[in-house]
Structure 1
Amino acid sequence: MTPQKPIAPACERNQGPILEVLRHYFHDRRRVLEIGSGTGQHAVFFAPALPNAIWQTSDVEENLPGIRLWLDDAALPNLPPPLVLDVTGPWPQQRFDAVFSANSLHIMPWTAVEQFFAGVGRVLEPGGVLAVYGPFNYGGAYTSDSNREFDGWLKQRSGSSGIRDFEAVDRLANGIGCELVKDHTMPANNRLLVWRRR
C-alpha cells in the first residue's frame, strides 16, 4: 500500500497569505532554511513561487518520511532532501541567507525557543532575513479569545508549550543581531514577524 502524504489543514489555509508576504522579503534570497517543516506542504507551495531559492526543509527525524513524500511528489529542482534538525541538537554546517519557521515556537519549550534563536545566529548570514509565523501575545496579553483558548489547549497538552510574548522573542532576535523589519497581521489572529540581520 502506498503511504499517504500527511496533511495539515492549517497549512492549506495559511500558505497563500504567508507566501504573499514572503514574496516581498525572499524574492532575492538564494538559500532558505525552513525549520520545523512539519508535513512539507509549505515547502512544495513556496518553492515553485520562489524559483531562485534553494528551499531546504528540516525537522525532527520522525517527521522526515512525510516531508519526503511531498518533496518526491513535487519533484522540484529547488527542493533538496530534508535535513534532520532538532533545534536542541546539532545544526547544519551550511549558511543561509533566509530562515523561515511556521507554528513552531509555541510548541517547543522556552529553552528550545532560546536554542532556536542561538542556532539561527549560527546559520544566518549578515543581511539575512528571519521570518517566523504564528500566534503571539503582546504585553503579556492575548490578542483574541481564540488565542486564549488555543494557549489553554497547548498548556494542557504540554506544560512547557504556550503562545510566546512578542517582546521576549524580539529580544532573542536582537541578541543575534536581528532587527525587526515588520510585524505583519495575518488571518486567524496570527502574525508573521520579519527580522533582518545587521
Structure 2
Amino acid sequence: MIELPHSPAADRNKQPILDALSRVLGARGNALEIASGTGQHVAAFASALREWVWQPTDVDASMLPALASRIEDAGLPNLRPPLLLDVTAPQWPSHGSALTKSFDAIYCANMLHIAPPAACAGLMRGAARHLLSGGMLITYGPYFDESPPAPSNRAFDESLRARNPLWGIRRLKDVAAEAQRHGLVLRERHEMPANNLLLVFVLA
C-alpha cells in the first residue's frame, strides 16, 4: 500500500481556491491540472465540481504512483489517471499520445516560483495549444506586483533563490506579458489568503 503524501498548505488553501473556481468556471467542462503534486487539490475539486472532468499531471515521475493511488481512493468518475507532463516539453504529455485542443480550463498552482523562468513560457505556450477558444488558464500562488511586497513574500523569495538561483516569486507584469505573447489575456485577479493571487487568463 502506497503512503499518500500530504501537504498541510494544500489542505489550508484548497477551500478558498475551490470557492474562487466555483465563481470563475462554467457549469461543466474539461480541466487539465498542471503540477498536481500530492493530488489534494484535484481530488477536492473533482469531488465538488462533478460536472467537470479533471486530468491531473505532474513533472515528477516519482509522484505519479502516489497521485494515482489518491485518485483511485477518491473513486470519482470525473477524475482521470495522472499523466507525466513537463510544461517546457514541445508535446504535452511528456510520453504517449499528445493531448488534443480540448480543455475549457487549465489550472496550475504553486509552480512558477519553484521552476525556472522557462516554465512560465512553457505553461503559456502549452495553454495556447490545448485550450479551446475562450478557455481559461488559472494560476495560483505568490506574485510581486507594483505594490510593496509583504515581508513574508520577500523572505520566501529570498529562501527560494538561496535554494536555486533560477527560482523565485515572479513579477505579475512579466507573467502577464508572457501570457499575452501567446494570445492569453489577464481577465481577472483574485486576492487570496496568505498573500497569494488567483489569476485568470483567457485565450482570445
TM-score bracket, normalised by the shorter chain, equals over 0.9
Q: Counterpart of 2:111?
A: 104
The letter for the 1-side match of 2:111 is S
Of 171-180 and 118-127, the range deviating more from structure 2: 171-180
CA 1:151–1:142 in 2, change beyond 3 Å: closer, same or farther? Answer: farther
Q: Counterpart of 2:43?
A: 44
The letter for the 2-side match of 1:155 is R
Is the CA contact (8 Å cut-off) linking 2:16 and 2:192 kept in structure 1?
yes
What does the per-residue CA deviation read over 1:71-104, in whole Å, with 9 as the maximum and x for residues that have no partner? 0110100001011101122214222110001000
CA 1:48–1:153 in 2, change beyond 3 Å: closer, same or farther? Answer: same
1:65 aligns with 2:65: yes
1:17 aligns with 2:16: yes
Moved over 4 A (4+): none
Q: Counterpart of 1:120?
A: 127
Alpha-carbon separation, structure 2, partners of 1:54 and 1:110: 29
Of 47-56 and 172-181, the range deviating more from structure 2: 172-181
Q: Counterpart of 2:78?
A: 78
1:154 aligns with 2:160: yes
Q: Counterpart of 1:144?
A: 150
Q: Counterpart of 2:95?
A: none
Could you list the runs of 5+ residues in structure 2 that have no partner in the other structure? 93-97
1:172 aligns with 2:171: no
Partner SS for 2:114: coil
What does the per-residue CA deviation read over 1:132-168, in whole Å, with 9 as the maximum and x for residues that have no partner? 00000013x6520000111011111111000000000
The letter for the 1-side match of 2:105 is A
* Matched ranges for 1:175-190 at <5 A: 175-190=181-196
TM-score by structure 2 length? Answer: 0.92
Taking only aligned residues, the RMSD between alpha carbons, in angstroms, comes to: 1.2
Alpha-carbon separation, structure 2, partners of 1:98 and 1:181: 14
What does the per-residue CA deviation read over 1:12-43, in whole Å, with 9 as the maximum and x for residues that have no partner? 00000000110112233411000000100001
TM-score by structure 1 length? Answer: 0.95
Is the CA contact (8 Å cut-off) linking 1:178 and 1:197 kept in structure 2?
yes
Alpha-carbon separation, structure 2, partners of 1:124 and 1:29: 15
Is the CA contact (8 Å cut-off) linking 1:184 and 1:191 kept in structure 2?
yes
Aligned residues: percent identity? 43
Of 83-92 and 157-166, the range deviating more from structure 2: 83-92
The letter for the 2-side match of 1:12 is D
Q: Counterpart of 1:27?
A: 26
Is the CA contact (8 Å cut-off) linking 2:143 and 2:197 kept in structure 1?
yes
